[in-house]
A and B are shown apart, each in its own frame.
Chain A
Amino acid sequence: MIGGLFIYNHKGEVLISRVYRDDIGRNAVDAFRVNVIHARQQVRSPVTNIARTSFFHVKRSNIWLAAVTKQNVNAAMVFEFLYKMCDVMAAYFGKISEENIKNNFVLIYELLDEILDFGYPQNSETGALKTFITQQGIKSQHQTKEEQSQITSQVTGQIGWRREGIKYRRNELFLDVLESVNLLMSPQGQVLSAHVSGRVVMKSYLSGMPECKFGMNDKIVIEKQGKGTADETGKSGKQSIAIDDCTFHQCVRLSKFDSERSISFIPPDGEFELMRYRTTKDIILPFRVIPLVREVGRTKLEVKVVIKSNFKPSLLAQKIEVRIPTPLNTSGVQVICMKGKAKYKASENAIVWKIKRMAGMKESQISAEIELLPTNDKKKWARPPISMNFEVPFAPSGLKVRYLKVFEPKLNYSDHDVIKWVRYIGRSGIYETRC
């Protein structure tokens, strides 16, 4: 259980403080500030113990969220709760920033009141919470009878994540496959480790209590189905992917998934994360970085970096950014690049090369001459890796949505009437090539 929850800005000023239990005193607020936020050395651990009190912290941009407890709690749960808290806040007012927190502090206190009681997590679903939070301040007199009964039925309903009697004129759903591809590559171009962590996020605007069925090109399913016809296995076998590990939203019936590998569920209203997965095999690496660093004497470095895009020529990658680190004693840099813009940023000790768009199966190159100041520092330059950021309109894991069917037996709309949108976005996670 959580004894208290504090939010600080980067200077260590308290923006929000809510104490749930007696064993946490006001001095805990200051203890965390002094020992962690103002500490000289870098953060040693996300869990800090100060005078027998455990502080769990999470940092979002320059905001610190800290949960405090004196009990021996499950660390995973506390962190998950803090993430959830961030999500809920983000759902209400967007980015978690000092300004937003200051402007919404009444709302945050309201949220903290509902999400935690006596330090125990209560209802934390954004959709369900909206019923209790009076961001605009509803006056109790004017609340209609209908609204009141909604509160009662919502919280007594059998399905905690969806209330009854939802109606939309247009039944619509959006499916986003969001992936982040992570790579660690050796200077010789060998893949040291690569994995994709993906999420399937669904936004549903469906009436009633619809039953949904979701299908993707999961290897196990495809193989099962392909058993009958041999040549189909050959065809689809190539396109199927092996998922290392996947988890689902609470609404998915896991028993059905285990027995038939089919994903069926009644979705919450609005946006939610249907599934989360991880793959490590047959990942399409959208970009390859080929670095070449040459030290010319003691005061000069020559760097040449080639990036190659490795996907269908018809697709376009966006927001490409290559970050080439430079030594601390750099005095000047000359950059020539074929495409995009490149700049040496002395404050970040890096050359940042930005390309707005790049089609598949293309190649681009940057070369730079770095002048160094002679130093008597014996420390050799550690050569940090070249990192990259990008966004591509496909799923690097190869995951494809095969179908999403909607059944609502009570209301008369069928699967065909639902407008469905599917989108794939692949982003770079930690995408590093050592040089």
Chain B
Amino acid sequence: MPYLGSEDVVKELKKALCNPHIQADRPRYRNVIQRVIRHMTQGVDVSSVFMEMVKASATVDIVQKKLVYLYMCTYAPLKPDLALLAINTLCKDCSDPNPMVRGLALRSMCSLRMPGVQEYIQQPILNGLRDKASYVRRVAVLGCAKMYNLHADSEVDGTLVNELYSLLRDQDPIVVVNCLRALEEILKHEGGVVINKPIAHHLLNRMPDLDQWGQAEVLGFLLRYQPRSEEELFAILNLLDSSLQSSSPAVVMAATKLFLVLAKEFPHVQTDVLVRVKGPLLTACSSESRELCFAALCHVRRILRSLPGHFSSHYKKFFCSYSEPHYIKLQKVEVLCELVNDENVQQVLDELRDYCTDVSADLAQAAIFAIGKVSAASPSFGARWASQKAMPRGTSETQGQTSEVTRLSIKNWANDSQIAGAIARTYTDQCVQILTELLVLRQEHITSAVVQTFRNLVWLCPQCMEAVCQALPGCEENIQDSEGKQALIWLLGVHGETIPNAPYVLEDFVENVKAETFPAVKMELLTALLRLFLSRPAECQDMLGRLLYYCIEEEKDMAVRDRGLFYYRLLLTGIDEVKRILCSPKSDPSLGLLEDQAERPVNSWVSEFNTLVPMYSKACWAAISSPQVSEPHGPEPSGNGVLSASGSLVSENKEERQPLCDSGSFLLLPNGQLTAEQFEKTWLSLEVAHREVFPWQGVAHPDTIQTALQMVNIQTIALSKAGVQPWKAYFSAQDGAGCLFLTELLLDPEQSQVRLSVKQSQAKAEALNSFISVLKTVIGTIVGIKS
């Protein structure tokens, strides 16, 4: 075990390193050094032999030198004073006649991450830039970037930058690429390296000399260049044409991106490019290197968003093999259901049906959801289907209510458009049939997924309601998970009048409600039972009473209890009122249940092409890209919305924050979280204290807004999805004096304005103003309001 007795190990190593006999015996000496490195790799702290290792660096043995330098680079930050001793040897090596030794010494010296090293490395780097061996020049160029990184706050040295720019014309291709990389890092604050016309043309000419890494990176840098004229643009495209056929997928991807970006004004060229990379992408998708295959599949999904039929004729390439890893199968299923057209629908459905019984529950469920997508995504049926997970299911009263209403409205809308979809009908019938057959297997995960799919199908294709209702009885025995139960209960509640045994199934749920672990299921049960009560009062009255009693008297979960109370009071107002609320046709399409799946222009995703964005799920990417939450140093000082001017949301600048905190004029409490119910109640009881309209640009990403506001302790209560119109959002916050601020944002797309209404629980004008300024700063930083 490396972690036990490491002290003894270090002691022994130290002894061995000091032993003159070992020092004299070169192989043995090197062996001891190797052991030091081995322990370092395993995580043992061997920094205490630093002194001895420095001594070992004075040798003619290159291997030993390399090992010692590796050691020094790792521990130099811990022992800066001792590391200085090594500088002498390194400097001497920098003028060795052997270019390899020069390069090695220079690289190691630049990698010593310790303060004060800058003054020693400056001269060797400058010499290295003019070295006659390109190996040394390569190292020296990146050394500039390393040096700059050590002292990021230091002034950018103009002469050095100029020298690097001139080295872009170096003979050696790797020096050229390294120059670009170094300049990019050094000029980070000025927007990176400048690619003007001569540089761009020079790089284009050098392209064939570069290796694959260089090509991929240069293609990335060329994205910055904006050709002056159309002729120049097409000349560039012609020049780079061969990159689309490179043997390296990385180069192909980078070239594709460049082509798509350069041709953003010419949609037909973009389509043409996508047709041309079809071959390479398909090759990557069926390649034996799984990871690359995964990356390619993720990008295929991106492309399919703009060109839905793009890979349809190659649908067989996306059939899963048994031995493929799980993650590839899941991606392939997602791709398959996008490729369906009238010719291949039969084969694709047959294939998907095979996956439904796969041993992996995940894949089986994904395949079932995919069949649902196929049935909804018929050619004449304009809109696609929202993935089940994306729906804001009713977790709070406000959202729950609206989503109920929206479901109804979607139903109506679907009713209108289904007339057009004769083919859609055949898809749907077939899908429902496949799904019904799956129920016979009585597998928990399958039944649950099928019922969830049914619920979604019933909204989108109401014509299949009858078939679904016939299939439902008996399902309740095989569903254990929360999502499946919710779906079943919802179906029973809404279509209870056509399912004979609906009340009895729900009665079972009511009987067992005490043992139910998921609050969401209980809430769904309340709504469903109340709904069924309206259509079949005689059978439901008794159990509705029991359920309400349980929810109000015994339930521990506040949200469930609140909903129970709400329904109880609603019932007290009379049956007409209940009907008006529960079955009201008023709808708010703003909450966007249908994820925007309409065809997107290529330009909407091209900037994300060939980055990590397609590889991660949307939610995951939002979490990564959202600004970093302040470092968790003990208790978080309550943020007060100070934002640095640069637009960075990381409130690292403590100097700015501190005085404001001390003055204590305005503080928002970090834990002022309101439930949606409380929010609604308070909102309705208060008057609007402040109203304002200001201009708004761009699309707001809900996750970004939520995270940003979270940092200044403004809690998000509800948000509509990005791109939905009109877009709405509700926030709450509480200050130190206990005053509540409730906020509504309403985005008016036509006039590109946003309407802001703030309500306040105590009338304090000063606090209100501070709150509004905080809110506006945050939002302004995100979407760029000119205030």
Contact count band on A: 35 or more
Q: Does B246 count as interface, using CB distance less than 8 angstroms?
A: yes
Contacts of A236 in B (CB 8 A): none
Count A-B contacts at CB 8 Å: 250
Chain A nearest CB, measured from B557 CB (Å)? 29
Contacts of B104 in A (CB 8 A): 113
A137 contacts B63, C-beta separation under 8 Å: yes
Chain B nearest CB, measured from A1 CB (Å)? 8
A16 contacts B41, C-beta separation under 8 Å: yes
A15 contacts B211, C-beta separation under 8 Å: no
A250 contacts B211, C-beta separation under 8 Å: yes
Q: Which of B23-81 contact A (CB under 8 A)?
A: 30, 34, 37-38, 41-43, 60-64, 66-67, 70, 74
> Which label, helix, strand, loop or mixed, suits the secondary structure of the B interface?
helix
Asked if A117 meets B142 with Cβ closer than 8 Å, knowing A16-B41, A247-B246, the reply is yes
Nearest neighbor of A155 in chain B, beta-carbon distance: B134
Nearest neighbor of B138 in chain A, beta-carbon distance: A122
A197 contacts B246, C-beta separation under 8 Å: no
Q: Does A421 count as interface, using CB distance less than 8 angstroms?
A: no
A182 contacts B249, C-beta separation under 8 Å: no
Q: Does B595 count as interface, using CB distance less than 8 angstroms?
A: no
Contact of B443 among A105, A184, A197, A379 (CB under 8 A): A379
Contacts of B61 in A (CB 8 A): 137, 139-140
Chain A nearest CB, measured from B173 CB (Å)? 6
A14 contacts B212, C-beta separation under 8 Å: no
B98 contacts A160, C-beta separation under 8 Å: no
Chain A nearest CB, measured from B83 CB (Å)? 16
Q: Which of B303-353 contact A (CB under 8 A)?
A: 316-317, 319, 321-327, 351
Alpha-carbon distance A139/B358, docked complex (angstroms) = 60
Alpha-carbon distance A141/B286, docked complex (angstroms) = 51
Chain B nearest CB, measured from A96 CB (Å)? 14
Alpha-carbon distance A134/B98, docked complex (angstroms) = 14
Output the residue of A14, A156, A249 with the most chain B CB within 10 A. Answer: A156
A192 contacts B289, C-beta separation under 8 Å: no
Stretch from A43-51, A218-226, A306-314 contacting the other chain: A43-51
A46 contacts B290, C-beta separation under 8 Å: yes
Contact count band on B: 35 or more
Asked if A113 meets B101 with Cβ closer than 8 Å, knowing A76-B610, A80-B249, A250-B211, the reply is no
Q: Does A397 count as interface, using CB distance less than 8 angstroms?
A: no
Alpha-carbon distance A195/B318, docked complex (angstroms) = 12
B43 contacts A14, C-beta separation under 8 Å: yes
A180 contacts B288, C-beta separation under 8 Å: yes
Asked if A105 meets B250 with Cβ closer than 8 Å, knowing A74-B216, A122-B174, the reply is no
Nearest neighbor of B286 in chain A, beta-carbon distance: A195
B172 contacts A156, C-beta separation under 8 Å: yes
Q: Does B658 count as interface, using CB distance less than 8 angstroms?
A: no
Asked if A151 meets B613 with Cβ closer than 8 Å, knowing A15-B41, A245-B282, A429-B288, the reply is no
Chain A nearest CB, measured from B76 CB (Å)? 12
Contact of A249 among B138, B145, B247, B615 (CB under 8 A): B247
Alpha-carbon distance A197/B319, docked complex (angstroms) = 17
B138 contacts A117, C-beta separation under 8 Å: yes
Nearest neighbor of B139 in chain A, beta-carbon distance: A117
Contact of B611 among A46, A72, A275, A432 (CB under 8 A): A72
A-B contact pairs, 20 of them (CB 8 A): A47-B294, A56-B291, A72-B612, A73-B611, A73-B612, A77-B216, A77-B250, A80-B292, A106-B37, A110-B66, A123-B174, A140-B62, A192-B316, A193-B319, A197-B286, A247-B246, A254-B245, A258-B242, A276-B283, A385-B322
Query: Which residues of A line the B interface, CB within 8 A?
Result: 1, 13-17, 19, 22, 26, 29, 42-47, 49, 52, 54, 56-58, 72-77, 79-83, 105-106, 109-110, 113, 117-118, 120-125, 132, 134, 137-141, 143, 148, 151-152, 155-156, 158, 160, 180, 182, 184, 192-193, 195, 197, 244-250, 254-255, 258, 273, 275-276, 278, 378-380, 382, 384-385, 387, 429-430, 432, 434
